Amino acid sequence: MAMRTLERLLSRRRKSSSGEVAKERLRLVLAHDRASISPALLDTLKDEIITVISRHIAIDTESVQVTFSQGTRESRLVADIPLLSQRRRRKR
Amino acid sequence: MAARVITITSGKGGVGKTTLAANLGVALARQGQRVVVVDADVGLRNLDVMLGLENRIVYDLVDVIEKRCRLRQALVRDRRLSELFLLPAAQTRDKSAVRPDDMVSVCENLREQHDFILIDSPAGIEQGFRYAIAPADEIIIVTNPEIAAVRDADRVIGLIEAEEQGPAQLIVNRVKPDMIRRGEMLGIAAVVELLAIDLIGVVPEDEAILIATNQGRPIALSSDSSMTGRAFHNIARRLRGEEVPFLTLREQGVLEWLFRFMRSGGD
């Protein structure tokens, strides 16, 4: 009995039971299934967003990030586009 | 009083849709409801054998649609429960024989005389699935606590939402409490969290199901002594709007089971 309790405590600490592994794998698979957005598509989107935005305002093209985030049943596309500050522009 | 039409579907095959349809039909009928279970798996019918009614079929769904008989003539009455009927699928035809509109009109004609119409959907997301969900007021998604079944369930939930059908509720079937306890099976909480729809039932894996199927006597027919039989009856009661806690705590080990599966994966 004591052994079993000990075993259980230990096995709980060792985080990667197959149930946990299944959950993590599922989380990823579902994110991709739900979005049907591939990494390549994300790259394309990023390039085109940079082109369009920088036509109108100065942005830090190197730091632009376009990512995809997964909520419970909705997903969203997040674009993080840092503007170039006036000072940095003058420096150029 | 018009019936509620509830379609039972899953995406993946073999998760227990037909067993659930048979047992929920029996449980609802035993609770005094007037029930029709419709086998929508044209070409691969099995609901008849689950219910032990395979020898009593004269006409089927496709006969009704193609007007070779009246709807009443195709309904097989279960002699053990006077208010349970089966509308069998055709066995020698395929799914192209049924269109979504056909299912809608068949269900419209059944609504008046019954309280529940349960449609046992074929596996997959093709035509059979489409016509099975067309008349549904509500949808039950069946899954098992394993990756492939949950993934397919998620696909189906997405399709149902896209069609603006539903609401969809979840049954996790074939749960092995022992394996969940050991952390070697997805916990119920994890499945519910990933799929993000309401849970309406949890059914344990049980050898008694196969034995009951062998005999053509759904487990929900016998008095509610088995935990599995009770699980079906609890789902039926929840469908009727009763608040039923997810497990009664009398059985040995069940309390622990409940705790474990609520906890595992729920973090």
On average, the pLDDT of chain A sits at: 78
CA dist., res. B4 & res. B198, Å (int): 18
- B151 shares contact with chain A (CB less than 8 Å): yes
Q: Which residue has the higher pLDDT, A27 or B15?
A: B15
H or E stretch at A27: helix A18-35
CATH at residue B15 = 3.40.50.300
- B150 shares contact with chain A (CB less than 8 Å): yes
Closest CA to B30 of B104, B152, B115, B112: B115
Q: What is the per-residue pLDDT for B126?
A: 95
CA dist., res. B178 & res. B195, Å (int): 23
- B201 shares contact with chain A (CB less than 8 Å): no
Confidence (pTM): 0.79
* Contacts with A72 from chain B: Cβ below 8 Å: 193, 196
> What are the pLDDT tens digits along chain B (267 aa)?
589 999 999 999 999 999 999 999 999 999 999 999 999 999 999 999 999 999 999 999 999 999 999 999 999 999 999 899 999 999 999 999 999 999 999 999 999 999 999 999 999 999 999 999 999 999 999 999 999 999 999 999 999 998 889 899 999 999 999 899 899 999 999 999 999 999 999 999 999 999 999 999 999 998 666 889 999 999 999 999 999 988 643 344 555 555 555 555 433
Count of domains for chain B: 1
Cβ separation B185–A19 shorter than 8 A? yes
Residue A65 Cα, gap to closest chain B Cα (Å): 27
- A24 shares contact with chain B (CB less than 8 Å): no
> Residue B49 sits in which domain range?
4-263
Q: Where are the alpha helices (DSSP H) in chain B?
A: 17-30, 47-51, 61-65, 71-74, 100-111, 127-133, 147-162, 177-181, 188-195, 207-215, 227-239, 254-263
Residue B147 Cα, gap to closest chain A Cα (Å): 6
- B184 shares contact with chain A (CB less than 8 Å): yes
Residue B121 Cα, gap to closest chain A Cα (Å): 23
